[in-house]
Structure 1
Amino acid sequence: MDLLSQLNEDLKTAMKARNKLELNVIRSLKTGVMNEKIELGHDLTPDEEVTVVSRGLKQRKESLTEFEKADRQDLADDTKAEIAIVEKYMPAQMSEDEINNVVKETAQQVGATSKADFGKLMGAVMPKVKGKADGKLVNQAVKNLLS
């Protein structure tokens, strides 16, 4: 089942349950998928769907950070609940060990050995872990390997 179909089914379920928070999050994701579909002019591939969902997740994580800085616990709690809902639509996330293994293998493939190769290595690793690993964790793993 593609993401749009899944979102439509979950939207119906949330409507029946009168779950406003989940309803808003699903509508937001669905809107993002539809806008991306219109912008690209074709049905989205699974990778493109993951990109849309990860964009929504990243926005919510950034909002959470800002709410916590501003000491707005009420908004932070709502955002944490939204993040949990969005994460249901993301592929399973890689562990730190799995990320480190991918980084090491890719470093050997591209011949990255020094800090000067950081950009080259990141450019090779990110497509392999797209949607399955947080960019900050990948960035840290690359820095640790090259230092």
Structure 2
Amino acid sequence: MSIQTRIEDALREAMRSQRALERDTLRMVLADLKNQRIEKGQDLSEAEELAVIGRNVKTRKESARQYTDAGRQELADQELAEIVIVEAYLPTQLGADEVRASIAAVIAEEGLDGKQDLGRLMKVLMSRHRGEIDGGQARAWAAELLA
């Protein structure tokens, strides 16, 4: 079952149960998936669906941060609640220790040393763990380990 199909099923259930926040959030995610499919001109692969959902979460996190900075905590809380709903369709995120262990493993396997190898490290790391780690946080830890 594709991710989009799972979201559509969850949307129907949210509509039946009259869960407005979940219904509206899932509709926005489906709209993003549809827009990407139209832009591409063909059906999306599972990896592409995950990328769209990941961008959706990233955008919501940034919105929540901006709302918090502007003193609009109620809107930030709504964005955070929507993030919880959307993240249910992403693969389980690796913990900090697992990410650091993966970074150390890539450094050892590839024989990397120094900040000049950061790009190569991130390329290998993200290809192995697409959707399972936060790239920004992983980059910070990788730079720390390569220093």
What band does the TM-score fall into relative to the shorter chain?
over 0.9
Q: Deviations over 1:27-70 (max 9, x none)?
A: 11111111222222332222111101100000000001001101
The 3-state SS of whatever aligns with 1:5 is helix
* Alignment deviations for residues 65-100 of structure 1 (CA, whole Å, 9 cap, x no partner): 001101111101111110110111111000111111
- TM-score normalized by structure 1? 0.94
Question: For the aligned residues, what is the CA RMSD?
Answer: 1.2
Other-structure match for 1:44: 44
Using the alignment, how far apart are the partners of 2:112 and 2:39 within structure 1? 36
Matching residue's letter, 2:21: L
User: Which residue is 1:11 aligned to?
Assistant: 11
Distance of 2:123 and 2:4 partners within structure 1: 29
Q: What does residue 101 of structure 2 align with?
A: 101
Aligned residues: 147
Partner of 2:34: 34
SS in 1 for 2:44: coil
Aligned to 1:65: 65
The percentage of counterpart residues that share the same residue type is 35
**TM-score when normalising by structure 2:** 0.94
For structure 1, list consecutive stretches of 5 or more residues without a partner in the other structure: none
Deviating 4+ runs (over 4 angstroms): none
CA distance in 2, matches of 1:97, 1:73: 31
Deviation at 1:16, TM superposition (A): 1.1
| Structure 2, gaps ≥5 residues long | none
